[in-house]
């Protein structure tokens, strides 16, 4: 008689812990053949606020780590994903096995790309400025704080990682909303985050409905920036809501057709989008 | 990180020898600047390289805040004029943006030189129109404006060096720019120079109370033979600004002004795809530790708040003094206040000139009254203010609590709120306890402390053992509700281009 397999209860990774939504709400997730994969948490605005709190708490410690250390932790995350390619590929269904494996590989490569940036981006982003006077004047980059990431429907693993990695590499922490139609890869990703040396709260992943959660992304004053993909109506609401706290908004139009596999979907400019620049002056004298 | 406990530092007592108090005890002979500002009685809009009246013929009067006398009549642009300006800028864009960078740069070099040639005339015009002391417009505003053009001119053919890894650096298109009244010509330079160097064309709106130097600069644009439509200047008040923001042809809006208006602009541009940079208000902490070089620090604090009558978004309007030296610092500041000369902005001895407008004066008075009402202690030196015009004496508040309005709201006037702290951590917490994050000052002899504070302070500019220093090569801009985007340096260019 065949053994009855143990199915996994999907939980989201918030504040370093695996949680269900505080509301207890879930929505069923089925594979292409209509078989139940599991009941995914339908996170609420309260879950989002809790996640922001966890991210805010983790922020200072993460930002204080050395860039070298952050780079190593991103690399470690890539190692964790590489080792569990099969599991993540499975989570990426209904994509074909080949397409899923390609997306996992690209996600690993993306993390490696940003792991390497950790202790180099400052040399490319910062500057020493020759001012017309006896002053030492330099500009450095600093993390913004808690970044709200809104992942697109497509490429549920690669796009999510492409949006998160440039945010955390400089010391930001993230609250990310996973792909609405394909949330399962984010659930599995959470399990890899938990084993990657990444401190709890640096990446917080939520699953749920955009129409329920985006208004809180728009209004939450502790989210210092928004990054991700949104349609015209969502962008208008998110940008309007951002006016209250003069939040930085880095949203792409869903019509922009980003090729997440391409080299253009990574790089210094994505890091630059999520840092603040600080200029310090000091007199030169005896 | 552990913070050093407050040490009481033994200092020499304030000397009892006779002190030289200048101020009103020593009358100076008037020393007015007499250069001709060459103002016209009437100014039109600059659209497509030509001066044209507003379509509806409306005008408003620009007055001298020092004596409330009319200076000139200025065209009042409405939506149709703004549309004309955008159309001209859009027509000029293809040629201007395709011009080799080296050629575009030469136009900017010309602008810098022409402004230097006419510097004195512009300084007098700036002081007449805005009320700032002639010493400041002569030694700071005008030379710094020229420096911004000169600096950015050199970038025009080197843009790929500004962005490591970018293969193509493209301008955005037509940029709408709205500038404030506190540094009218300098803000024009901060806005125009990077926009033009990167190949954008511009619709610029000066502040209603200070349009004249922008319109005089329009003459310089013509003298430089800048192609028609590359820069268009529309004058007016809030409605004109709203039209500049709303116009569908704007690829980007660059705004410097209040946080309140910045919010309106964010809401108005939401969902339009327009790029945005905002340089908004501030409530900067100037932090004075007990080991600071006090003579320099006192001058820095004075300069930090009374420069340009305190009409400075990065003004050091909150002084945080370490408890052990608070009494001495307050004593020195009150003494120094008595020697500040308030009065005729055109007088070369004047330290504090006229408040920019009656409206701003009323706001300052309202907030100062709130400070008194909430229990802070006010000090103003004895000084006779001119009978006509808008003036406010230099003002100190001691005993200020963090919850007081004068510690939270931007006053934008010559009013300093003094608070105290004991430890480094307390100083950082108090300094960051504001919605703003434009600038901060640190005064201490200890290098590691400076670097700790410059790391922990949530502000875009940190001045250590100095204050209110600016340079075209030095990026300027805020954190938090002080806005986003940078102006100046390599970083300022980024907000006027797309990279690929």
Establish if A282 touches chain B: CB-CB under 8 angstroms.
yes
pLDDT at B6: 47
Q: Is the pLDDT reported for residue B23 higher than 70?
A: no
Domains in chain B, number: 2
Whether residue A150 is contained in a domain is answered as yes
Q: Are residues B320 and B217 in the same domain?
A: no
Q: What is the mean pLDDT of each run of 10 residues along chain A (286 residues)?
A: 89 97 94 86 98 98 98 98 94 86 97 98 97 98 98 97 98 98 96 96 98 98 98 98 97 92 95 98 89
Instruction: List the beta bridge partners of residue A19.
Output: A12
Q: Are residues B303 and B388 in the same domain?
A: yes
> If contacts are CB pairs under 8 Å, which of residues 464-483 in chain B contact chain A?
464-466, 469, 471, 473-477, 479-483
Contact A142, A279 (CB under 8 A): no
Question: Which of chain A's residues have a Cβ under 8 Å away from the Cβ of B495?
Answer: none
* CATH of residue B208: 3.40.605.10
Q: Are residues B398 and B495 in the same domain?
A: no
Task: Give me A139's structure tokens.
Answer: 């500009």
Q: Are residues B265 and B361 in the same domain?
A: no
B266-287 pLDDT per residue, tens: 999 999 999 999 999 999 999 9
Task: Write down the ipTM of this complex.
Answer: 0.95
Whether residue B23 is contained in a domain is answered as no
Length of chain A: 286
Whether residue A51 is contained in a domain is answered as yes
Task: Give me B57's structure tokens.
Answer: 């013929």
Residue A30's contacts (CB-CB under 8 Å, 6 or more residues apart) are: A36, A37
Check the CA dihedral B104-B109-B113-B118 and report its sign: positive
Task: Give me B89's structure tokens.
Answer: 């800028």
Whether residue A98 is contained in a domain is answered as yes
Whether residue A6 is contained in a domain is answered as no
* A174: Cα within 13 Å, side-chain hemisphere: 28
> 3-state SS string over chain B?
CCCCCCCCCCCCCCCCCCCCCCHHHCCCCCCECCCCCCCCCEECEEECCEEECCCCCCEEEEEECCCCEEEEEEECCCHHHHHHHHHHHHHHHHHHHHCCHHHHHHHHHHHHHHHHHCHHHHHHHHHHHHCCCHHHHHHHHHHHHHHHHHHHHHHCCCHHHHCCCCCCEEECCEEEEECCCCCHHHHHHHHHHHHHHCCCEEEEECCCCCCHHHHHHHHHHHHCCCCCCCEEECCCCHHHHHHHHHCCCEEEEEEECCHHHHHHHHHHHCCCCCEEEEECCCCCEEEECCCCCHHHHHHHHHHHHHHHHHCCCCCCCEEEEEHHHHHHHHHHHHHHHHCCCECCCCECCCCECCCCCHHHHHHHHHHHHHHHHCCCEEECCCCCCCCCCCCCCCEEEECCCCCCHHHHCCCCCCEEEEEEECCHHHHHHHHHCCCCCCEEEEECCCHHHHHHHHHHCCCCEEEECCCCCCCCCCCECCCHHHEECCECHHHHHHHHEEEC
> 3-state SS string over A157-182?
CHHHHHHHHHHHCCCCEEEEECCCCC
Whether residue A93 is contained in a domain is answered as yes
Q: Is the pLDDT reported for residue B8 higher than 70?
A: no
Q: Which of A131, A248, A267 comes nearest B484 by C-beta?
A: A248
> If contacts are CB pairs under 8 Å, which of residues 270-299 in chain B contact chain A?
270-271, 273, 278, 280
pLDDT at A286: 62
Q: Are residues B204 and B290 in the same domain?
A: no
Q: Are residues B230 and B160 in the same domain?
A: yes
Distance CA A91, CA A72 (A): 26
Domain around A232: 12-283
Domains in chain A, number: 1
Q: Is the pLDDT reported for residue B332 higher than 70?
A: yes
- Whether the pTM exceeds 0.80: the reply is yes
Can you list the pairs that B447-455 forms with residues at least 24 positions away whose Cβ atoms lie under 8 Å? B449/B289, B449/B424, B450/A282, B452/B1, B452/B424, B453/B287, B453/B424, B453/B427, B453/B428, B454/A278, B454/A280, B455/A142
How far is C-alpha B306 from the geometric centre of its chain's CA atoms?
13
Are B165 and A268 in contact (CB < 8 Å)? yes
Please give the average per-residue pLDDT across B304-309, as a whole number: 97
Q: Are residues B275 and B384 in the same domain?
A: no
Distance CA A144, CA B305 (A): 28
Q: Are residues B133 and B226 in the same domain?
A: yes
Distance CA B438, CA B486 (A): 11
Whether residue A4 is contained in a domain is answered as no
Reported as a pLDDT band with limits 50, 70 and 90, residue B21 is: low
List active site positions of B.
279, 313
Whether residue B387 is contained in a domain is answered as yes
Q: Are residues B330 and B190 in the same domain?
A: no
Q: Are residues B172 and B308 in the same domain?
A: no
Residue B50 Cα distances to B60, B71, B234, B335, angstroms: 20, 22, 12, 53
pLDDT at B91: 98
Are A272 and B494 in contact (CB < 8 Å)? yes
Are A137 and B471 in contact (CB < 8 Å)? yes
The secondary structure element, H or E, covering residue A14 is strand A12-14
How far is C-alpha A73 from the geometric centre of its chain's CA atoms?
15
Question: Which of chain B's residues have a Cβ under 8 Å away from the Cβ of A242?
Answer: 266, 270
Please give the average per-residue pLDDT across B3-20, as a whole number: 51
Residue B11's contacts (CB-CB under 8 Å, 6 or more residues apart) are: B294, B325, B328
Whether residue B8 is contained in a domain is answered as no
Whether residue B21 is contained in a domain is answered as no
Task: Give me B337's structure tokens.
Answer: 């206040």
Q: Are residues B223 and B311 in the same domain?
A: no
Domain around B180: 42-280+480-499
Q: Are residues B204 and B220 in the same domain?
A: yes
A196-235 pLDDT per residue, tens: 999 999 999 999 999 999 999 999 999 999 999 999 999 9
Find the residue in B nearest to A265 (Cα): B500
* CATH of residue A59: 3.40.605.10
* CATH of residue B421: 3.40.309.10
Distance CA B408, CA B402 (A): 7
* B236: Cα within 13 Å, side-chain hemisphere: 26
pLDDT at B409: 97
Find the residue in A nearest to B440 (Cα): A280
Residue with the two structure tokens 């949680």: A19
pLDDT at B26: 63
Q: From its phi and psi, is residue B124 left (phi > 0), alpha (psi between -120 and 50) or beta?
A: alpha
């Amino acid at each position: 008689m065949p053994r009855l397999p143990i199915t996994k209860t999907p939980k989201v990774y918030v504040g370093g812990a695996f949680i269900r939504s505080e509301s207890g709400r879930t929505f069923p997730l089925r594979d292409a053949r209509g078989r139940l994969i599991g009941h995914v948490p339908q996170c609420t605005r309260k879950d989002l606020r809790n996640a922001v709190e966890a991210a805010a708490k983790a922020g200072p410690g993460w930002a204080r780590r050395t860039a070298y250390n952050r780079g190593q932790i991103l690399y470690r995350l890539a190692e964790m994903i590489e080792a569990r390619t099969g599991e993540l590929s499975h989570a990426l269904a209904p994509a074909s096995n080949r397409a899923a494996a390609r997306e996992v590989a690209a996600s690993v490569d993306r993390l490696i790309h940003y792991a390497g940036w950790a202790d180099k981006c400052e040399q490319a982003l910062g500057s020493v400025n020759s001012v017309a006077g006896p002053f030492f004047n330099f500009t450095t980059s600093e993390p913004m704080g808690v970044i709200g990431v809104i992942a697109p429907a497509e490429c549920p693993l690669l796009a999510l990682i492409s949006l998160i990695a440039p945010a955390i590499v400089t010391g930001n922490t993230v609250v990310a909303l996973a792909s609405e139609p394909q949330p399962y890869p984010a659930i599995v990703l959470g399990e890899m985050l938990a084993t990657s040396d990444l401190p709890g709260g640096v990446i917080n992943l939520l699953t749920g409905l955009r129409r329920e959660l985006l208004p809180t992304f728009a209004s939450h004053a502790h989210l210092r920036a928004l990054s991700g993909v949104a349609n015209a109506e969502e962008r208008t609401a998110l940008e309007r809501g951002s006016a209250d706290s003069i939040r930085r908004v880095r949203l792409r139009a869903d019509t922009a057709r980003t090729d997440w596999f391409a080299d253009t979907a990574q790089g210094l400019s994505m890091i630059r989008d999520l840092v603040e620049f600080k200029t310090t002056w000091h007199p030169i004298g005896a | 990180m552990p913070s050093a406990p407050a040490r009481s530092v033994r200092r020499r007592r304030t000397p009892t020898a006779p002190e030289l108090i200048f101020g009103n005890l020593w009358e100076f002979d008037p020393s007015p600047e007499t250069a001709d500002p060459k103002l016209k009685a009437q100014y039109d809009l600059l659209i497509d390289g030509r001066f044209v009246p507003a379509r509806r013929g409306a005008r408003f009067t620009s007055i001298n805040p020092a004596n409330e006398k009319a200076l000139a009549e200025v065209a009042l642009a409405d939506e149709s004029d703004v549309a004309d300006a955008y159309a001209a800028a859009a027509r000029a864009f293809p040629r201007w943006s395709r011009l080799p960078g080296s050629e575009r740069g030469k136009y900017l070099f010309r602008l810098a030189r022409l402004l230097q040639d006419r510097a004195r005339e512009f300084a007098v015009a700036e002081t007449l129109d805005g009320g700032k002391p002639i010493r400041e417009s002569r030694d700071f505003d005008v030379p710094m404006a020229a420096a911004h053009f000169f600096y950015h001119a050199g970038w025009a053919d080197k843009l790929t060096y500004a962005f490591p890894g970018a293969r193509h650096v493209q301008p955005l298109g037509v940029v709408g720019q709205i500038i404030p009244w506190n540094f009218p010509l300098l803000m024009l330079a901060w806005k125009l120079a990077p926009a033009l160097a990167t190949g954008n064309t511009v619709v610029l709106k000066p502040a209603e109370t200070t349009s004249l130097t922008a319109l005089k600069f329009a003459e310089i644009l013509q003298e430089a033979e800048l192609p028609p439509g590359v820069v268009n200047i529309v004058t007016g008040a809030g409605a004109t600004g709203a039209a500049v923001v709303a116009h569908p042809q704007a690829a980007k809006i660059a705004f410097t002004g209040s946080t309140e208006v910045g919010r309106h602009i964010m809401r108005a541009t939401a969902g339009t795809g327009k790029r945005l940079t905002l340089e908004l208000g501030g409530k900067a902490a100037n932090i004075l530790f007990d080991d600071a070089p006090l003579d320099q620090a006192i001058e820095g604090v004075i300069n930090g708040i009374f420069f340009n009558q305190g009409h400075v978004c990065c003004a050091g309007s909150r002084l945080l003094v370490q408890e052990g030296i608070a009494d001495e610092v307050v004593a020195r500041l009150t003494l120094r206040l008595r020697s500040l000369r308030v009065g005729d902005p055109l007088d070369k001895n004047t330290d504090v000139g006229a408040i920019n407008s009656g409206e701003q004066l009323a706001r300052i008075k309202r907030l100062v009254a709130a400070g008194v009402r909430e229990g802070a202690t006010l000090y103003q030196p004895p000084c006779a203010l001119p009978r006509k015009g808008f003036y406010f004496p230099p003002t100190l508040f001691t005993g200020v609590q963090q919850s007081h309005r004068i510690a939270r709201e931007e006053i934008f006037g010559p009013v300093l709120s003094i608070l105290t702290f004991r430890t480094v951590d307390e100083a950082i917490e108090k300094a960051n306890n504001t919605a703003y994050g434009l600038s901060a000052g640190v005064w201490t002899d200890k290098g590691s402390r400076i670097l700790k504070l410059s790391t922990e302070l949530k502000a875009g500019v940190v001045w250590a053992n100095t204050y209110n220093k600016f340079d075209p090569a030095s990026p300027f801009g805020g954190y938090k509700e002080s806005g986003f985007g940078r102006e100046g340096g390599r970083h300022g260019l980024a907000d006027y281009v797309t990279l690929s």
